[in-house]
Amino acid sequence: MSSRQRSMTTSRIGRLSMMGRLAGDLAGGMVSEGARQLARGQRPSLGSALLTSRNVTRLGERLSEMRGAAMKVGQLLSMDSGEVLPKEFSALLARLREDAHQMPLGDVADVLNAAWGEGWDRRFTRFAFTPIAAASIGQVHAGELRDGRRVAVKIQYPGIRASIDSDVDNVATLLGLFKVLPPEIDIAPLLDEAKQQLHDEADYTQEAAALQTFAAHLEGDARYQVPHVVDELSGEDVLTMEFLDGAPIESVAELSRERIDDVAADLVHLAFREVFDWGLVQTDPNFANYLYHDANGCIQLLDFGATRRYPAERRDALRGMLDACVDGSDDDVLAAAANVGYIADDPDDYKRTIVALLRTATEPLRAAAYRFGGSDLAQRMSDIVVEMRLRSRYGRLPPTDILFLHRKLAGLYLLLARLRARVDVRALACAHTASAEERKPVARLARA
Q: Give Cα separations from 217 to 193, 209, 221, 226, 299 (angstroms).
A: 27, 12, 9, 10, 15
For the stretch 336-375, pLDDT in tens is 999 999 998 888 888 999 999 999 999 999 988 999 998 8
Angle separating helix axes 160-177 and 12-39, nearest 10 degrees: 30
| 284 among known catalytic residues | yes
Q: How confident is the model at residue 316 (pLDDT cuts 50, 70, 90)?
A: very high
Q: Residue ranges of the alpha helices (H) in 342-396?
A: 348-361, 377-392
Look at residue 164 and tell me whether its pLDDT is greater than 60. Answer: yes
Residue of 284, 303, 323, 424 marked active site: 284
Look at residue 331 and tell me whether its pLDDT is greater than 50. Answer: yes
Rounded Cα distance between 408 and 412, Å, is 6
Determine contact, residues 178/26, Cβ cutoff 8 Å: yes
Q: How confident is the model at residue 3 (pLDDT cuts 50, 70, 90)?
A: very low
Residue 172: which of 53, 236, 254, 76 has the closest Cα? 76
Q: What are phi and psi of 362, to 5 degrees?
A: -95, 15
Determine contact, residues 69/168, Cβ cutoff 8 Å: yes
- Single-letter code of the amino acid located at 121: D
- Element (H or E) spanning 134, and its range? strand 133-134
Determine contact, residues 419/263, Cβ cutoff 8 Å: yes
Q: What is the pTM of this model?
A: 0.81
- Residue 71 sits at the vertex; the CA angle it makes with 70 and 73, to the nearest 5 degrees, is 70
Rounded Cα distance between 45 and 250, Å, is 41
